[in-house]
A and B are shown apart, each in its own frame.
Chain A
Amino acid sequence: MSAATIISLPDQSTARIPKMNFLTKENGLLSWLLTGDHKRIATLYLVSITFFFFIGGALAGLIRLELLTPQNDLMAADTYNKVFSMHGLIMVFFFLVPSVPATIGNFLMPMMVGAKDLALPKINLLSWYLYVIAGIMMIYTMSVGGVDTGWTFTTPLSTHYLNTHVISAGLSVFVAGFSSIFTGLNFIVTIHKMRCPGMTWFRLPLFVWSNYAASILMVLGTPVLAITLVLVVLERTVHIGVFDPAYGGDPLLFQHLFWFYSHPAVYIMILPGFGVISEVISTFSRKRVFGYTAVAFSSVAIAIFGFFVWAHHMFIMGISNYSALVFSLLTMLVAVPSAIKIYNWAFTLYKGSITFETPMLYAIGFMGLFTIGGLTGVFLGATGTDIHLTETYFVVAHFHFVMVGGMLMSFLAGIHFWWPKWTGRMYPEKISQLAALTTFIGFNLTFFPQFILGTLGMPRRYAAYPPEFQVLNVFSTAGATVLGIGYLLPILYLTWSLKYGEIAGDNPWQATGLEWQTQSPPLTENFPEIPIMDHEAYDYEWLERQQRKEVASV
Chain B
Amino acid sequence: MSDSTAIARGAAAEAAHPHPGEHPPYQRHHFETVGQQFDATNFAMWLFLLTEVMFFGGLFASYLIMRNWYYPAFVEGSHQLNIGWGTANTAVLIISSFTMAMGVWSAEMRKKGMLLLFLSLTWILGMAFLGIKTIEYHEKWVKHHVPGLNWSDSSFLNPASDPEVHKDYPGDKPLAPEMAQKAEMYFFLYFAMTGMHALHMIIGISILTFMIIRARQGAYTTGHVTYVENFGLYWHFVDIIWIFLFPLLYLISRFPNS
Contacts and interface: CB of A to CB of B under 8 A. Distances in A.
A and B touch in the complex (CB under 8 A): yes
B148 A239 contact: yes
A367 interface: no
A230 B196 CA distance: 10
A224 B55 contact: yes
Contact of A257 (B2, B36, B62): B62
Interface in A197-248: 219-224, 226-228, 230-231, 234, 237-242, 247-248
Contacts, number: 126
Contact of B58 (A120, A193, A227, A530): A227
Contacts of B47: 185, 188-189, 219
Interface in B57-113: 57-59, 61-62, 65-66, 69-70
A342 interface: no
Interface string A102-119: 000000000000011111
Contacts of B43: 188-189, 192-193
Interface in B162-208: 181-182, 184-185, 188-189, 192, 196
Contacts of B240: none
B141 interface: no
Contacts of B22: none
Contact of B44 (A120, A227, A529): A120
Contact of B54 (A117, A223, A528): A223
A188 B48 CA distance: 11
A242 B41 contact: no
A228 B58 contact: yes
Given A185-B48, A248-B185, A231 B148 contact: no
Contacts of B40: 119-120, 189-190, 192-194
Contacts of B56: 227
A220 B30 CA distance: 27
A223 B185 contact: no
A523 B5 CA distance: 12
A403 B5 CA distance: 43
Interface string B24-63: 0000111010001001110110011011101111110110
Interface centre among B44, B50, B51, B57 (most CB of A within 10 A): B51
A119 B44 contact: yes
B38 to A, nearest CB: 10
B46 to A, nearest CB: 9
A222 B2 contact: no
Contacts of A525: 1-2, 5-6, 30
Given A119-B40, A181-B51, A238-B149, A528 B58 contact: no
A245 to B, nearest CB: 12
A224 B57 CA distance: 7
B9 interface: yes
Nearest to A238: B148
B29 A241 contact: no
Interface of A: 20, 115-121, 123, 181, 185-186, 188-190, 192-194, 219-224, 226-228, 230-231, 234, 237-242, 247-250, 253, 256-257, 260, 523-525, 528-530
19 contacts: A116-B30, A117-B30, A119-B40, A219-B47, A224-B58, A227-B56, A231-B192, A234-B192, A238-B147, A240-B185, A241-B188, A242-B185, A242-B188, A242-B189, A249-B66, A250-B65, A257-B61, A525-B5, A529-B9
Interface of B: 1-2, 5-6, 9, 28-30, 32, 36, 39-41, 43-44, 47-48, 50-52, 54-59, 61-62, 65-66, 69-70, 147-149, 151, 181-182, 184-185, 188-189, 192, 196
Given A116-B29, A116-B30, A219-B47, 14 more contacts: A119-B44, A185-B48, A188-B43, A189-B44, A194-B36, A223-B55, A227-B56, A227-B59, A228-B58, A240-B147, A240-B185, A250-B65, A523-B2, A525-B6
